[in-house]
Amino acid sequence: MNHKKLNAAEVGAKGLAGLKKIEMDKFGPFLALLVLFAVSALASPYFLRLRNLTNILRQVSYTGIIGLGMTFVIISGGIDLSVGSMLALVGGIGILLLNYLGGGAGAIIAVFFGAVVVGAVAGATNGFAITKGRVAPFIVTLGTMSIFRSLTLFISNAGEFRSHSSLYPSVGMGYFLGLPNPVWIFLFLTALFHLVLYHTRFGRYVCAVGSNERVAVYAAIKSTWIKFYTYVIVGATVGISAVLLSSRLNSISSTNAGAGYELDAIAAVIIGGTSLSGGSGSIIGTLIGALILGIVNNMLNMLGVSPYLQGTVKGIVIIGAVLIQRKGKRLF
């Protein structure tokens, strides 16, 4: 009898400690963002200017949107390294389609949906190889990263995809209620994906598959489909990002477009508190992670740090974020 009581006490103590950890996981990135924001505001008088702030928001939107899709992939236990190359390919095809359709308003709408579909198909290719071919996600997407870029270079002969539409730039350059269009789309997708992750069966299943795929399979969850869909989703977000980026520049460079985006997208997810080992994560966290990266870049520019050194700082931020999260876990 005594034993039973003790057990309950033990469970209670552990449960309480468990709660504290959850709070830390949830609010850690947010606290970091607040601190960074305050420090930046003190360090530079220009930081708080509206133009600077909207600029940061716009800059983080392109990789942030991809990061949202990437969050699902990472929670399910996967990774997608191909997103940067995929963006160039999808963006390039989008511009070819735009020019073919004449570049009017109807053409732009068609291109938007066309890019989402092409992105989703590219993502499905990854997903198919990973789930049906049973090749590790790292390997598959490392391969397609090379393939997508090479196809882009081949189609454009290593040059630029240039749009002939005069209307197209208004999509990526435009503002709505004081914020750049890409920012609105980023925020809208954040809300939508948050809803999907926490309030739909799909979101729950993604977490279950990433947490322990065998348990998920035994619980009648079709884990291969779940994993497949996460790659389709990240492909679709790449499509959206490709339209936003290409319309801002009215062109896509086959060599540079999307270069390094996979790093920023994955970094945003990780800094936001989603664990690379999968099982759980946060869409809001990814939003915060993207903002943190954006502010750090912005500050380095303002403080006149050499652009060549910015990669070093970014790397330190990524490793630091994971270290802090790891420490919270080691208490148990």
Chain positions contacting other proteins, by CB under 8 A: 2-4, 6-16, 18, 195, 199-201, 204-205, 207-208, 211-212, 214-222, 279-280
Minimum separation from the CB atom of position 220 to other proteins (A): 4
Helix (H) or strand (E) holding 180: strand 179-180
Minimum separation from the CB atom of position 221 to other proteins (A): 7
Of 218 and 308, CB closest to other proteins: 218
SS3 19: helix
The token pair that represents 231 in the structure block: 């790659």
Minimum separation from the CB atom of position 33 to other proteins (A): 25
- Rounded CA-CA distance 168/109 in Å is 10
SS3 for 266-280 is: HHHHHHCCCCCCCCC
Of 277 and 301, CB closest to other proteins: 277
Minimum separation from the CB atom of position 106 to other proteins (A): 31
Minimum separation from the CB atom of position 147 to other proteins (A): 32
Of 48 and 215, CB closest to other proteins: 215
Minimum separation from the CB atom of position 77 to other proteins (A): 12
Q: What is the dihedral of CA 230, 235, 239, 245, to 10 degrees?
A: 100
Give CA separation, 216 vs 207, 224, 231, 292, in Å: 9, 10, 18, 34
> Is the Cβ–Cβ distance between 172 and 251 less than 8 Å?
no
DSSP β-bridge partners for residue 175: 180
Of 308 and 332, CB closest to other proteins: 332
Among 276, 289, 286, 261, CA closest to 36: 289
Minimum separation from the CB atom of position 193 to other proteins (A): 14
- Rounded CA-CA distance 171/263 in Å is 26
Of 16 and 50, CB closest to other proteins: 16
> Is the Cβ–Cβ distance between 172 and 115 less than 8 Å?
no
SS3 281: coil
Of 51 and 214, CB closest to other proteins: 214
Of 221 and 244, CB closest to other proteins: 221
Contacts of 9 (CB under 8 A, 6+ apart): none
